[in-house]
Chains A and B, each alone.
Chain A
Amino acid sequence: MSLKNKILVTIVTEASLESAICKQLGRLGASGHTITDARGKGSQGQRGGGWDADSNIRIEVICNETVAQAITDFAQSEYFDNFAMVVYSHPVSVARTNKF
């Protein structure tokens, strides 16, 4: 099976942002995303995930470099100031490239 290079963008942030971010991801050109619940600790304190206001999510998007940059720029301008958020990306080799 042939593999092609794409970018995996990962956003770890507050669960309350889920619907707002997911709506925007489509507009920025992402063809899909995967969300998992997350827990952890960072500069905004411990986020135990036990209940709504305390929950984190991890959003993963596989896309091309342009869309990855757009997602990162969007996250920075909209959310970095006031929300617990970590964004990182790295190259990945994916099968079924027509899906992304």
Chain B
Amino acid sequence: MSDPIILFFIFGVFAGLVRSELRLPSAIYDFLSLTLLLAIGLKGGIELAKQPFLTLAPQIAAVFLMGLLLPLVAFPLLRLAGKLNRADAASIAAHYGSVSVGTFAVAIAYMNSRGISYEEHISLLLVVLEIPAILVGILLARGLSKQTRWGTVAHEIFAGKGVILLLGGLAIGWIAGPAGVEPIAPFFFGLFKGVLALFLLEMGVITASKLGSLRRYGLFIVLFGIGMPLFSALIGASLGILLGFSTGGVSMLATLAASASYIAVPAAMRISVPEANPTLSLSASLGVTFPFNVLVGIPLYYDLAVRLQTAFGA
């Protein structure tokens, strides 16, 4: 909790709540998220360079399946317990099946500051997990409707800022290898925590702006925003154990599963399921789940990973 990056986030929330004038210019926010995405991609790419790509195929398939499954669990819950309409339930389900790079970055910082190692190629799994939930979300909302412009959806997913920067970083890291990346390492890896601190400051301000709308949507969204990531973390951690990951890796996969998207999915849903209320899904993913994961979830998922590893690990 006393980690300065977490304090930056809390400071951002505080500044937002007292309606301070504090806000980063959007170009700076873009630059910070671009740096984080490239750094995460590069880290994964360097690791990929060290191992044959084919050995990763089972992991990629398993994580893709998890991305299909999580929204299918969330959807009936949102429909029945939350009494949400089909479009809103599908859109929120897609948010929770996909991932948040911000949460992932905080988890990296958490692992690094405690000297816990993890499978660094997990950045590749981050990209894989971005995609399936969007497809499931659209199918849940629309069925196999002819109205869905799949070409536009595919473009939105693959050419969207998040996926393209992660893939670009992965490719550059993979091609250049550890020695090739070394000259730019001080910028991308040395400054990682500083960039993350500023990013979290702005995320705090944005989170605070979503807290107000929570009151409108009631207790269910808060309960779902905490309950769903806890369930997803259990699925992610179990998958990590099955795949034979280290404790750090299990914990990272749990964090990936538990995080909810607030960039790629909102953009894709806005285009594909416009009747879904974007404020509702963002209130849940940004107003509840993001702060929960950053403040409480990540250490909790690590603890879960340690317990599962002791009980079932190889």
Contacts and interface: CB of A to CB of B under 8 A. Distances in A.
B23 A50 contact: yes
Interface string B255-277: 00000001100110011001100
Nearest to A49: B26
Contact of B209 (A14, A37, A48): A48
B267 A16 contact: yes
A16 B209 contact: no
A53 interface: yes
B158 interface: no
A51 B274 contact: no
A14 B270 contact: yes
A83 interface: yes
Q: Interface size bucket, B side? A: 20 to 34
Contacts of A46: 209
B271 A50 contact: no
A46 B23 CA distance: 15
A83 B271 CA distance: 10
B111 interface: no
B270 A50 contact: no
A53 B262 contact: yes
Contacts of A37: 26
A82 interface: yes
A81 interface: yes
Nearest to A44: B279
Contact of A50 (B24, B263, B267): B24
A14 B152 CA distance: 17
Interface string B124-165: 000000000000000000000000000010000000010000
Interface string A42-65: 001110111111110000000000
B98 to A, nearest CB: 14
A20 interface: yes
A82 B263 contact: no
Nearest to B267: A16
B275 A81 contact: yes
A16 B205 CA distance: 21
A37 B25 CA distance: 12
Interface string A19-56: 01000000000000000010000001110111111110
B274 A83 contact: yes
A44 B278 CA distance: 10
A44 B23 CA distance: 21
15 contacts: A14-B270, A16-B271, A20-B152, A44-B279, A48-B23, A50-B24, A50-B26, A51-B263, A52-B161, A53-B262, A53-B263, A53-B282, A54-B206, A55-B26, A83-B270
Interface of B: 23-24, 26, 29, 152, 161, 202, 205-206, 209, 213, 262-263, 266-267, 270-271, 274-275, 278-279, 282
Given A52-B161, A54-B206, A82-B274, 17 more contacts: A14-B270, A16-B270, A17-B270, A20-B152, A20-B271, A37-B26, A45-B213, A46-B209, A49-B26, A50-B24, A50-B202, A50-B206, A51-B206, A52-B267, A53-B282, A55-B26, A81-B275
